Amino acid sequence: MTDLIETERLPLSVFAEKAYLDYSMYVVLDRALPHVADGLKPVQRRIVYAMSELGLSAGAKYKKSARTVGDVLGKFHPHGDTACYEAMVTMAQPFAYRYPLVDGQGNWGSPDDPKSFAAMRYTESRLTPYAATLLAELGSGTADWVPNFDGTLDEPKLLPARLPNILVNGTTGIAVGMATDIPPHNLRELAKACIHLLKHPGAEIETLMGFVPAPDYPTGCEIVSESADLLKLYRTGNGQVRARAVWEREADTGNIIITALPHQVSGAKVQEQIADQMRAKKLPLVEDLRDESDHESPVRIVIVPRSNRVDVPQLMAHLFATTDLEKSYRVNLNMIGLDGRPKVKNLREILVEWLDYRFATVTRRLNHRLAKVNDRLHLLEGLLIAFLNLDEVIRIIRQEDEPKAVLMRTFALSERQADYILDTKLRQLARLEEMKIKGEQDALETERAELERLLGDDAALKKLIAQEIREDAEKYGDDRRCALNAAPPAQAMSAEAILPAEPITVVLSKAGWIRAGKGHDLDPEALSYKAGDEYGLHCTGKTNQLLILVDDNGRAYTLNPRELPSARSQGEPVTTRLDLQDGGKIVAMMLGDAGDRYVVGSTEGYGFVVTLESLQGRNRAGKAAITVAKGAGLLRPAHVSGDGLQLAITTAEGRLLLFPVAELPELPKGKGNKLVTLKGQDRILASCVLPADAALVLSCGKRTLTLKAADLEHYSGERGRRGNKLPRGFQKVDEVAVELPSASASAEGV
């Protein structure tokens, strides 16, 4: 009563802490984590044991799963039937377990939807042959027995596993404050590692990985993790495993055939992911997608490339990066050890600890058999005495009031021998033959000697364990399903690389409305504009190139040409996509590759060479690029392509200067170097880049002046000079253009 009162007076914080810790330890030790000995959680162990008690061996007839679940819940596991049945289903799914423990009949789910299994009243089940490795030695004194939840029955604390099931099938679980993710492995590989460890107890993890190089998932995918990552995983017990789908290309059609998917990946989901990209026009390299899976080919997904020129390895790398065709699996080798404590163990620790358990199990099995043999020899010794004195034994049994005591006194028998003789029928006793008894004695004596030899010699015991592991591996093992092919993580293709590059013309009106039309033959001035608006700027290029806009403050803005509205419409205000700073107005546009070079500058006489990549920015507000003084304007950018180019500059005073573009520095941003010397109110009117042997066309109102290469020598000089005066009538230049030697028409300077 006092204890009860004291308990009721506990502070709430103390009570809550104890309750939480009790629950936590229960979840950790009795629900979520597997044991290193048999690799099973309590519910799994109870399902397997209950099925064995129901006689549902591999050779038995199937029985309703509801019967099994009822037995498990009623006798050993008083929890929810749904959770118990789901645990049973997982052990029966060949795509979930590497070596299933339950043989199911009926609908037990599919790889596309593992939760689509039928209710337990519809399915039937029994144990698989592999489950015998957990149960075969259960009745040989190898298990510790503990009371069940209500104390009416005993259940095995651990199953005497003949193989390291903890790594063979693996498991997942979430406890309190910890979790476990143990991948499955190949049985034959683990067996070889265990045998090697028995022969060489000091073997390191690197040596063991020569036998167990990586997990082996049941779906037969491709392990692409680097060897260094796998070594770290098995050395620390934590890490990741990357797996990819297996694919091949048909020689006759060129189609891509996916024949195996990563573990727990739904083929339907993968197809949906690819189809979504196709519908969004983000996967133009793929023309068609089909599912040709059937019973003979459980996984057969057909991807049809658009043409035979498609780079298939690059396409698959993109799909690996953007779909579940490549998946990473978290590995956390957390389990309950032989000391009863949870711990994350490395590969060597797991195998050593399991071998210790196996050593103890086999020792218990041999001792149990030795005790049976000794007991039988003891009984046979009494039977032999009874046979040799059969008449006297019969007389004593028939005539004496206490035949047991008389037999013990007369023939120096033990109580156990006397009871056995008395329990034997007289007719059977009469038929006993001395040779039969002695023959059985000899056989048992030989067996006893062998058992004592094994128990007294650790080397012989290890040899026996190794032999049993080897036999089980040959009986239940198979070849590795997951090929090893180390590869770096897949990278998704950029939009520029995966989408076709189409020629476009980008048009900007004076009011700031932007749009893009297909092709380069578009007449921007002939497009329809809103009332009061008209043509402003345009540039040509491809959809996979950079579009750079520059305002009159020298800030550069970046747009994706693919996202611009069609030229069939009147476009949209550029301010819906950009935040123009300080009242800026777009005065220049450039569309080209990242490495394209342009001459940029201001009308105050300074400039430099810049690449489009340097002008590229991610913000809507753009980035400062060209320093423009107050009152100055921005020069129209001039494309630089090739060597031997000259920059032609005309000023308001009517001067023209030509100098090599190579004299200008290449800068990411700034003011640049002096282009031309300006005096007073002079400023630059126009500029263009002039190839060798090209002519310069000056537009002055309605008049034009063409200066050929010989004429331009008069105006050539060093960068920063004033230049020479142009002829009268051509000193106020409105526009400059380039006329190539082979061209009949002039090209506008940009």
Q: Show which residues are catalytic.
A: 122
* Number of alpha carbons in the 13 Å side-chain half-sphere of residue 148: 18
Q: Collapsing DSSP states into helix, strand and coil, what is residue 71?
A: helix
Q: Tell me how far apart the alpha carbons of residues 360 and 354 are, in angstroms, rounded to a whole number.
A: 10
CA separation, residue 79 to residues 84, 406, 681 (Å): 8, 57, 93
Question: By C-alpha distance, which of 252, 222, 486, 465 is closest to 357?
Answer: 465
The per-residue DSSP string of 643-673 comes to SS-EEEEEETTSEEEEEEGGGS-B-SSB--E
CA separation, residue 90 to residues 168, 354, 633, 661 (Å): 15, 24, 73, 72
The per-residue DSSP string of 317-366 comes to HHHHHHSTTEEEEEEE-EEE-TTS-EEE--HHHHHHHHHHHHHHHHHHHH
Q: CB neighbours (10 Å) of residue 448?
A: 16
Question: By C-alpha distance, which of 71, 73, 91, 95 is closest to 82?
Answer: 73
Q: CB neighbours (10 Å) of residue 673?
A: 17
Angle in degrees, CA 661, 665, 671, rounded to 5: 110
CB 615 within 8 A of CB 554: no
Q: What share of the chain is helix, strand, coil (3-state, %, to 5)?
A: 35, 25, 40
Q: CB neighbours (10 Å) of residue 723?
A: 22
Query: Per DSSP, what are the bridge partners of residue 102?
Result: 127
Rama region for 593: left / alpha / beta (φ>0; ψ in -120 to 50; rest): beta
Q: Tell me how far apart the alpha carbons of residues 136 and 138 are, in angstroms, rounded to a whole number.
A: 6
Question: By C-alpha distance, which of 237, 239, 236, 271 is closest to 256?
Answer: 271
Name the strand (E) or helix (H) holding 152. none
CA separation, residue 445 to residues 211, 331, 378, 439, 580 (Å): 40, 51, 11, 10, 101
Query: Per DSSP, what are the bridge partners of residue 328?
Result: 242
